[in-house]
Amino acid sequence: MNVLRLSGPPARKLQRQWWLSQLKQLFLSLRPHQWTKNVVVLAALVFAGRLFDGRSVLVAGGAFGIFCLLSGAVYLVNDLADLEQDRKHPVKRERPLAAGKLSAPFAISAAVVLAVGGLAASFWLAPGFGVVATIYFVTMMAYSFILKNIVILDVLIVAFGFVLRAVAGALAVDVAFSNWLLICTLLGALFLALAKRRQEITLLASGAAERRRILGEYSPYLLDQMIAVVTASTLVSYALYTSAPETVANFGTDRLIWTLPFVLYGIFRYLYLVHQKEEGGDPTKVLLNDRPILVTVALWAATVVTLIYHRSQSG
């Protein structure tokens, strides 16, 4: 603390170093690698055929950025709420707040700025988008303090967050959202949330309940049963969506079913990583680091875009 008594250039240098350090740790606490979850906001842009519309792309990009701000604020609040538990966790104890590298008052101030700024920007972008963004933020706040401690509801809320992202993206670019898209989004996100819970229990073993109370309500067997149900539901829903008459009429092609093998492989590969490699605790890292899944997602996306936009390009 004696450094605070310095004056002149030495004090300014120390203050600058402190601010730079805090900003760096703050950026890490916002978990930029997790921002890929907000790509769901862009789903409506793609499936509504607006991918090559400049204005829609800009608006969707703004919506994506706003959700990055809001999710960053949520991560900060969640880390503050779980500070003591994270310090006992073998992985989460390395997070800036838990490790003592980021000042709690600094994190609180940043969370307020991000939340207020993000919500204000969301209403400026589009009123409907702002309403859904607000629902998302309030829901995630409730999750951070209450809902994450209620068995089953905890994973459902996480999945619901992805549905809200998809709906918000549609409202941002002013297009109708498909119920099928929402169902597939919900089930896919629920699959990842359940797989993450299973990996957490496996990693923490007998100390899972001590480090996080809700984990004591689950068991690997129970989660495996839930994952099996959700996996089957996800695949069936996606198959029905791609072959539904309204989907064929909307996109002018019945070939979206060709993308089903990519979804099958991606899910099975993820289950392989969860069960055989004890990965899956961080779905985003798996997506970014596992080359087979990364290639599969890229091929799926390229195929979907090609099939959807082939009619408009040829027309």
Q: pLDDT value at position 12?
A: 78
Q: Which two tokens stand for residue 66?
A: 């706003």
pLDDT at 83 (0 to 100): 86
Q: What angle do CA 191, 181, 134 make, to 5 degrees?
A: 85
Rank 34-48, 57-71, 186-200 by mean pLDDT and report only the highest: 57-71
Most confident of 83-97, 147-161, 297-311: 147-161
Q: pLDDT higher for 202 or 56?
A: 56
Once rounded to an integer, what is the mean pLDDT over residues 119-146? 96
So what's the pLDDT on residue 146? 92
Query: At how many degrees (to 10) do helices 220-243 and 260-276 cross?
Result: 170
Provide the pLDDT for residue 5.
55
Residue among 300, 292, 233 nearest 260 (CA): 300
- Report whether pLDDT(277) > 90: no
Mean pLDDT of 74-102: 88
Q: How confident is the model at residue 1 (pLDDT cuts 50, 70, 90)?
A: very low
For the segment 38-44, the average pLDDT, to the nearest whole number, is 93
Is 44 within 8 Å of 182 (Cβ atoms)? no
- The model carries a pTM of 0.89
